[in-house]
Amino acid sequence: MRELLYEAARHFKRGKALAERGDVRGAMAAYEQALRDLHAVKPQRMRDVLLAQVYLSRYQAGRELDARRADSDLRVGYSYARTTAEPTVRQLAEQLWSQRLVEQQRAPEEPARAGASGKREGRRGRKRQRHGRPGRNG
């Protein structure tokens, strides 16, 4: 178990270094490897601290790639940070959470899958056609 924690810490450090160099996709892959190792370890303080750090770092790195996933990473990282007694991790989580709330208040998101008129359309964001033929909706 200890080996998995050390391996996860190495993946985390590699992810941070890649993110600092601008290799976001490489960083996300390293963070994913760290999460895989950490979730294989029994719950304990060090694991939770690392989980919080990895999820929060993944949020910071992945905001431009996938906003929904990044928001999920922020929620999970914030949750893990609150369960730890590590003040620096909790402080980072609180700071990121507050910044995200301010961003949401400034620019409220449009309703999901809304068209130009604001009306909801089909499941995939466009009107469905019967029998796959254009122009035959009747």
Q: Please name each of the domains of the chain with its CATH number.
A: 2-109 (1.25.40)
Number of residues in the chain? 138
Which pTM was predicted?
0.76
Is it the case that residue 4 has pLDDT exceeding 50? yes
Closest among 61, 82, 79, 7 to 37, alpha carbons compared:
7
Q: How confident is the model at residue 67 (pLDDT cuts 50, 70, 90)?
A: very high
Q: What is the pLDDT of residues 91-128, one digit of tens each?
A: 999 999 999 999 988 876 555 444 444 444 444 444 44
What is the predicted pLDDT for the residue at 128? 47
